Structures are given as structure tokens and as C-alpha cells.
Structure 1
Amino acid sequence: MSELTVLASPSRYVQGKGALGALGTHLAALGDRPLIVADDTVWGLFSAQVTEALEAAQLPVVRVGFERFATPEAVDALVEVISADGHDVIVGLGGGSTIDAAKASGHLAGIRWASVPTAASSDAPTSALAVIYTAEGEFVEYRFFPRNPDLVLIDTQVVAEAPVRFLAAGIGDALATWLEARATRRGTASAMAGGRPTLAGTALAELSWDILWENALPALDAVSARVVTPALEAVVEANTLLSGLGFESGGLAAAHAIHNGLTAAPQTHGLTHGQKVNIGSLAQLVLEGAPTAEIEDFVVFTTRVGLPNTLTEIGLAPEDTAELRAIAEAATVEGETIHAMPFPVTAEDVLAALTALEGLSRRVRREHGLPEPERYTGGGH
């Protein structure tokens, strides 16, 4: 057990309506030759705003495309572009994988990096790590960096105009933060930042949780109406900054390990990170033997948010024993964050928790007059 506590955070966090217009000003403080990484869809939506912002700061506008996942090959290709063209700051514009690829390549190339998420769909933008996947979307590894992004900039009007499911996914990712941070705090494991959780990291994780329970539903209403409200501003900060600081300096535990296991099941491909994390959060509550009221409240709340809390909603069933066992084994491999739980967790334990989710959530939903789960068919079989 490390007796040192560690808090990690980005150098600067900028949030608000119209923040994208200030991107050039903030990038100019970091370098002279930025490289923008964005997929075609994102660039089609935001190229005009980004170009105007950079040109106003007298910065060149250079953009390179991006595929779906932060693969080792994608990262290495970005390093080559950085080196060949002499870029001194790389900007991940878009979703979590784009941002992670920018961070990983910026680190390898020895330049500064910035995160500009176009949705509040995960807490990836603030962290000093990247999640690396195969081209098919299976989890490969975490890559850790000695520092966090130099800049995180998120425009809440952009978030308001993104699909509602992206904000819901970010809520799923952020709800796990407090559940995992409190579990890490009870045990003896280190947080992702490399030491025991700080009081600040744990407190920020809990603040994220409190903000979401108060503001998630009206924030989703705001995004449905494509407007920015105080509730949306609060949820964007909870999803992006507070969850990011909370997971990194508070700790990850079972929820994210089970997410990583789920990526091995083709049935779940196409689901967002936060959707799969939410299954992990509920499974963690079951593993902990959490109070019945806490579990039932979680099922009710996440159903209203639009997050999956049954196997059916991620393309699986309790009868899929082979797939569930493979997920459970992947979630409990040596080095996974599930071992930060304050008690030993085996693959059998995870298998039992996952199998129990279906009946548990269906019962709670029925008792509260909530919709029956709909089968997810977007993944492969």
C-alpha cells in the first residue's frame, strides 16, 4: 500500500456557451503549429467555427482525419504526422477515442496536447491516460502519461446540439465515479494517478454524483430542446471535469473493469462507453451487497436517464453463460481495477452479479411502472 496521495488535473479547464470561439486564444498559449485531429463528421460540423477561432489567433489550421477507435496503429500514424510537419500542440476534437489518440500521440511525440470534446459523453478529456482498443473495439490496454492535458475546452452549446444519448452516456460514466471512488477509499488500492486517493479526489467524485441526481433529467430535457440551461452546465461539469478528477484521483474499481470485460462480447459493440459502464456500476452494487434501497433507486434513476440496467439492453441474456463467463474472466484478470475493491472478487462473483441483474432490474422497473427493457441488436453475434 502506498502512503502517498496524489491529485492529477488538467492545466486549464474552460467550459461554457460559445467556448469554441475562444479555442485559438487558449491554443496560442501552448504552441504555434497546432494539429487538429477530428473525424469527418465532427469536422463537417465544426470546421467553420474552429477555423475562425484559430485564424483570429493567427494560427494555421491543419486537420487530420480519424477513424473510430484509438488503436496502436492510429496513434503511431499521428506521431508520424506530428514529426513530419513540426507540430507543437495536438488537439483532439470529438469523442473520447479521438481525444485519447491525440493524448497518446502527443505524449509519444513530446509535444503539448489539448482536449476539445464535442459531447459530454465521458470523462476521458481531462485524464492523463488513454484507453487503447483494437480496430473492432475490444479493450487492449490503458496507457498512462506523466501529465494531464494542457487544455480541456468544452462548448456547452455544442453539447446541447449533440444527440441526447451522448449526454446520457456521460451520465452513466460519471455515476460510476463515486461508486468506484468510495470502494477504492475503503480498500488499500491506489487511484489511477499513482497514489492513494486524495480527500479532494474522493470529494469531487461524490460531488459529481450529487450534481447528477439533482440535474441529470432537466439537463437531458435541455439537450432535447437544444438549449443551454444551468442544469446542463452543471451536468457537463459533472460528466467532464468532476468525474475526470474523481476517477483519476479517487480510483476505479469494479464498474470499469466489468465495462472492459463487456468489450470482449461482440453483442455489446456499438454501445457507448457509458452504457456499458452503467451495467458495471449496477453489478458492482450487487457485488458489494449494497442496501436494497440504494440498488433500487439506481435502477429507477438510470432507467429514467435512458441507460441500460439489464442484460437484454446490451444484447445479452442470463442464459448466455459462456459469454458472461468470458466477460467475468476478462474483468478479473490480474491488474484490472476490480482488484481495488475492498474485498476479493473472483470471476464467479462477477458472473453471479451479472446473471442477477436481469431479474432484479425487471422487478424494480415493474414495481415503479417503468418500461420493460428492449433488446439491443446493434452488436455482432
Structure 2
Amino acid sequence: MAKIIMSPSKYIQGNGELKKLYAHTANLGTTFLVLATEGGMKRIKHIVEESFKDQSKKLVFEIFNKECSKEEINRLIEICKSNGCDAVIGIGGGKLLDTAKAVSYYEKMPVVIVPTIASTDAPCSALSVLYTPEGVFDQYLVLPKNPEMVLMDTDIIAKAPARLLVAGMGDALATYFEARACDISKATNMAGLLPAKSAYALAQLCYETLLEEGLKAKLALENKVVTPAVENIIEANTYLSGIGFESGGLAAAHAIHNGFTVLKECHHLYHGEKVAFGTLVQLVMENCSMEEIEEVIQFCKSIELPITLGQMGVKEVKPKEIMEVAKASCAEGETIYNMPFEVTAESVYAAILTADAIGKRYL
């Protein structure tokens, strides 16, 4: 079987790059749908307008309705059609960016991804994760291409709460372990082909960067400053993890994240916070050494990622509810079946409770 590595056409990272948006995107379209949240629009609209000032391009600004759902995607498609948009710029967080990519796919037009946070590995991928309007995982929408451009303005990202960068590290934490599981099982990646060796190398570099730079970056962002560690973690969260997960493959950690979306107690958590605990559960499923499990736990503790169900918001552990999480993690088509051994809801249930018990020993 052929191997593949996938990436955006351009990845640009630097201080103040949003001010150069016109220069970066001028060749991509004539009428741009610019998607942002209500709060994000207040912060970035004037920057985008200033960048396009005195140019012949048209900007259509629209506020994102919180969930990357089929309903929201269809709403935005109608706005694109009524305004003659031929390109879309998504400025914001993971669900908004996934929505911009989905609109781009259905309308067959270029997409520019401008994260205002580094909280997930979604920006670089040819993938949109769809949810119901209530926030429950719905499906993966695998796209035929990666974004034309990913633009990371580190000055804007540094102004976001440090918790968001930490959540991105939780998402990135799974990259190496899931790629490793896929490498052992010879599972295909998100493109349906085998991972290239370079994808596995990027996944390893992602993990090494997290361990080396994670705490330093968190402390810097808590003081609203950009240091080399912050730059390195932004790249790890966004590019290394993005290429690593998409081209290296997903396994148990992200499937377990999807399982936890059925619990209302966990809806306050960011994607990467649930993925971090899912990573710990995956390591238990693999019966990894305590040395490796402890390395992951100590990293999570250092940057305040959850290592127990209690820290996830599950104050009372009810076996029936945890089994529902396990069953959802094992839904048909889930990436958990990329693990190099048989997986059942019962084995996931056991791993969740064991991971919780191990985590409690380090509190």
C-alpha cells in the first residue's frame, strides 16, 4: 500500500502576521467570507479591514454560531451563495476553523485558517469534526485537501488564556502515542493510506517539544508574553501535531475523547483536556510501563491537564455512565480500532477506571 504525508500549502507563523492578511491571501479570491465569533469579531475586524484597505477585494463578515454542525455549515453556505463569495477566511478556534473548512469543501473554494488560539491540532488538517447543535460528537468529515494557508499570529495567540494553550498541549500529547499504535498495527491514516516515516518523525518531535517546552510556555503565556518556548509550543500544537495526527493516524485517545462527549459533566472541558485523559487511558490499554505512564502524568500535572475523572468533572463515578462512555468510544468506525489488539467496551471501561485510579495516586 502507498504511503502519504499531508499538509497545508503554506504554514506561516510570526508576530503581527494578521496585519499582513491581504498580502498573504490576495491571490486566493475576490470576495471573502470572514468567519469569527462575536467576541473575536470585536477584536479582529478592524485589523482585517485595515489590511484590505484601498484594495479591490470584498469582505463579508459573519458571526459563528458556536458549533461545527451540519446546520451551521448549511447556514454559512447560503450566505456564501447570496454574496458571491469565492474564498473563506476562518479566524478563531477549532470548531470555527473546522466549519470554515467544511464550507470551503462544499462550495469548492479556497480556505485560509487563522487560529486565534493554539488549543487544538485542527488547523492544518483536511478534516472537520462535526457535532450536533447540542455539542455531542456526530462524525468526521474527511476532506479532499488541506487548507491553502494556515496563518498563526503569535501576538494574538499570546493574548488568549493560558488554559487554551494547555488544552492544545493535551491534544498534541496524544499525537505520538496514537501514531505509534498505528505504526505497530499498520493501520491507515486519515487519508486511507499508510503513514510516511516523516509523519512518525514529526509525531515524535511533537512529544519531545511538549516535554521540553510545555511548562515554560505556560508560564510565559500566563504573563501575556511570547518567548521562544511559546513559539515552539504553538508550532508543536498546530503544525507538528496537525501533520502528525493526520498523516500518522489516530487511535484510542481521540475515540475516548469522543466517548466522554456523552457526559454532560465533561461539556465544560476543552477538546484537548479530554484527549489528555484519553491518552492516559490508551497507555493503560496498551499496558505500557509505569515509567512511561508516570512521565505522561507528571507532564500533565505540571501544566494542569486532568489525570483523574474527578478533574474531568465526574465527581461521582457511576459504572453505568462510564460504560456508556466506553460504548461510545467503541462506536462503529471509531479510530479506537486502529489499536494493535482487540478492543471491546469492557476493556475500555476497565482502562478508564484504572487510569483514574493511577491518576489519583499522583494528586
Q: Please tell me whether the aligned partners of residues 60 and 83 of structure 2 are also in contact (alpha carbons under 8 angstroms).
A: no
Aligned residue for 1:354? Answer: 352
Task: Tell whether the 8 Å contact from 1:75 to 1:101 is kept in structure 2 after alignment.
Answer: yes
Whether the 8 Å contact between 1:25 and 1:57 is mirrored in structure 2 is no
What corresponds to 1:375 in structure 2? none
Number of residue pairs aligned between Structure 1 and Structure 2: 363
State the shift of 1:304 in Å. 1.1
Q: Offset of 1:19 from its aligned partner?
A: 1.1
Aligned to 2:167: 169
Taking the TM superposition and a 5 Å limit, the aligned residue runs for 1:214-293 are: 214-293=212-291
Q: Distance in 2 between matches of 1:281 and 1:291?
A: 14
**2:158 corresponding residue in structure 1:** 160
Counterpart-to-counterpart distance in 1, 2:159 and 2:196:
35
Identity %: 44
- Measured after TM superposition, the shift of residue 56 of structure 1 is 6.0
- Partners of 2:315 and 2:354 lie apart in 1 by 10
The correspondence of residues 177-192 of structure 1 with structure 2, limited to 5 A, is: 177-192=175-190
Corresponding letter in the other structure for 2:199: G
Measured after TM superposition, the shift of residue 25 of structure 1 is 1.0
Q: Deviations over 1:36-93 (max 9, x none)?
A: 0111011111112121122265433321111111010000111111111111110111
Task: Report if the CA contact (8 A) 2:202-2:244 is conserved.
Answer: yes
Name 1:72's counterpart in structure 2: 70
Q: Deviations over 1:125-182 (max 9, x none)?
A: 1100100001111000000111000010010111111001000000000010001001
Q: CA deviation at 1:319?
A: 3.1
TM-score under structure 1 length normalisation: 0.93
Equivalent position of 2:3 in the other structure: 5
Tell me what 1:112 maps to: 110
Please, what TM-score do these two structures have when normalized by structure 2?
0.98
- Per the TM alignment, residue 24 of structure 1 is displaced from its structure 2 partner at its CA by 1.1
Contact between 1:55 and 1:61, CA under 8 Å: does it hold in 2? no
How many Å apart are 1:188 and its aligned residue?
2.3
SS at match of 1:126: coil
1:130-145 to structure 2, matched below 5 A, reads 130-145=128-143
Distance between the aligned counterparts of 1:242 and 1:41, measured in 2?
A: 28
What is the aligned counterpart of 1:147 among 145, 153, 163? 145
How far apart are residue 318 of structure 1 and its match? 6.9
Query: Which amino acid is 2:313 matched to?
Result: G
Counterparts of 2:285 and 2:255, CA distance in 1: 13
Which one of 289, 293, 296 corresponds to residue 294 of structure 2?
A: 296
Secondary structure of 2:212 counterpart: helix
Q: In 1, distance between residues paired with 2:293 and 2:256? A: 17
Q: Whole-Å Cα distance in 1 between the matches of residues 307 and 281 of structure 2?
A: 9
**Which is worse superposed, 264-273 or 52-61?**
52-61
CA distance in 1 between counterparts of 2:288 and 2:53 reads: 54
Q: Deviations over 1:110-129 (max 9, x none)?
A: 11111110000001111001
- Aligned equivalents of 1:270, 1:68: Cα separation in 2: 14
CA contact 2:269–2:312 (8 Å) conserved in 1: yes
Contact preservation (8 Å) 2:252, 2:279: yes
Q: Distance in 2 between matches of 1:37 and 1:90?
A: 8
> What amino acid is the match of 2:157?
V
| CA positional deviation for 1:263 | 0.6
Q: Is the 8 A contact 2:114 2:150 kept in 1?
A: yes
CA distance in 2, matches of 1:261, 1:148: 26
8 Å contact kept, 1:318–1:358: no
After the TM superposition, which segments of 4 or more aligned residues of structure 1 sit over 3 Å from their partners?
none
Is the 1:36–1:90 contact (alpha carbons within 8 Å) kept by the matching residues of 2?
A: yes
Which letter does structure 2 place at the counterpart of 1:64?
A: E
- Give, in whole Å, the separation in 1 of the partners of 2:322 and 2:316: 8
1:99 to 76, 79, 97: 97
> Match of 1:130, SS?
strand
Uncovered stretches (5+) of structure 1, i.e. residues with no partner: 366-381
Q: How does 1:39-50 map to 2 (within 5 A)?
A: 39-50=37-48
